[in-house]
């Protein structure tokens, strides 16, 4: 497995692969890898074949974090990530620095962004913004989040030139926005969305689960319990008012002493359009604070 940290080297390799007729699969991550990430790698390998190239990027993207979010504390374990990627058959690991991805010019000196998700206005200033699907749910709770996501993913697409890119279904809204960006901006990339992997108790696998200590880990299962109760309700009643279902989820979450509901939404899975009545096929998405840790989950009912 190769490891590349510089943009120029990444672009040189992707051009070589293209000339050789190799298919390229990309799995963008922020590191601290787990089994869910490795399932995306397997999906990418199936998509490009044995003779293709699978690239995993590890980059904790500062532009998708708000000023009061956990950018500086986000879990990082590159040594372990390297070992997992080798074991999963990754061909190349792309680990750029902030200075590579978001160069900031102050006078004649290039400065690294270090630990702050802020940028000098005289330096980096170009962003990719999706303006329809990004307004609700995560977009409403984290106003600048998706601008950072679409920008960094667009940059990765230009650098890696993938035929296929694989994302996880846990970030359902993110996957929908990336699909829209690809269609609107004519990226020649096929987007695959792989199923959410869960722990035995139903908690969706996430790098942020490492924050959960003591009783908080048990309380975090309230997200999966909310999904299961919504599913059981629709299985029994076939149709149910979304407003009443939201109230029921909020009440369930508030039964946990350290849990706080950020949002819960019921919507059409393809368009993200909210529904007045929940039926079979409706998508549920919710975000819950467990202590200081914010977790998200979603599922089709």
Yes or no: say if 296 and 287 are a contact pair by the CB < 8 Å rule: yes
**Cα dihedral across residues 68, 155, 87, 13: positive or negative:** negative
Estimate the crossing angle of helix 145-160 against helix 172-184, to 10 degrees. Answer: 60
Relative to beta strand 293-300, strand 283-290 is antiparallel
What residues are paired with 260 via a beta bridge?
Answer: 289
Q: Which of 245, 203, 240 is nearest to 225 (CA)?
A: 203
Annotated active-site residue 158? The verdict is no
CA angle, 76 then 78 then 80, to 5°: 105
CA dist 184 and 175 (Å) reads 14
DSSP state of 300: E
Q: Where are the beta strands (DSSP E) in the chain?
A: 2-4, 24-29, 53-58, 92-94, 104-106, 109-111, 164-168, 190-194, 239-241, 259-267, 277-279, 283-290, 293-300
Choosing from 34, 37, 145, 158, the catalytic residue is 37
**CA geometry: angle 256, 259, 263, nearest 5 deg:** 125
Q: Which residues are catalytic?
A: 37
């Amino acid at each position: 497995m190769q490891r590349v940290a510089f943009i120029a080297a990444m672009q040189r390799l992707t051009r070589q692969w293209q000339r050789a007729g190799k298919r390229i699969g990309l799995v963008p991550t922020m590191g601290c890898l787990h089994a869910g990430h490795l399932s995306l790698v397997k999906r990418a390998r199936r998509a490009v074949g044995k003779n293709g190239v699978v690239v995993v990027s590890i980059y904790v993207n500062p532009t998708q974090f708000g000023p009061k979010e956990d950018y500086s504390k986000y879990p990082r374990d590159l040594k372990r990530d390297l070992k997992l990627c080798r074991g999963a058959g990754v061909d190349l690991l792309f680990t750029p620095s902030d200075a590579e991805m978001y160069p900031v010019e102050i006078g004649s000196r290039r400065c690294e962004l270090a630990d702050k998700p802020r940028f000098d206005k005289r330096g980096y200033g170009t962003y990719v913004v999706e303006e329809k699907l990004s307004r609700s749910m995560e977009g409403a709770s984290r106003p600048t989040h998706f601008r950072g996501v679409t920008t960094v993913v667009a940059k990765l697409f230009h650098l890696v030139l993938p035929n296929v890119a694989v994302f996880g279904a846990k970030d359902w809204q993110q996957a929908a926005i990336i699909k829209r960006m690809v269609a609107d901006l004519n990226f020649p990339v096929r987007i695959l969305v792989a199923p959410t992997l869960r722990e035995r108790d139903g908690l969706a696998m996430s790098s942020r689960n490492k924050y959960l200590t003591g009783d908080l880990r048990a309380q975090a299962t309230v997200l999966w319990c909310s999904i299961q109760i919504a599913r059981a309700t629709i299985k029994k009643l076939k149709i149910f008012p979304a407003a009443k279902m939201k109230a029921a989820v909020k009440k369930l979450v508030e039964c946990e002493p350290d849990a706080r509901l950020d949002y819960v939404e019921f919507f059409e899975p393809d368009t993200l359009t909210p529904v007045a009545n929940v039926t079979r096929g409706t998508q549920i998405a919710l975000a819950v604070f467990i202590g200081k840790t914010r977790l998200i989950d979603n599922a089709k009912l």
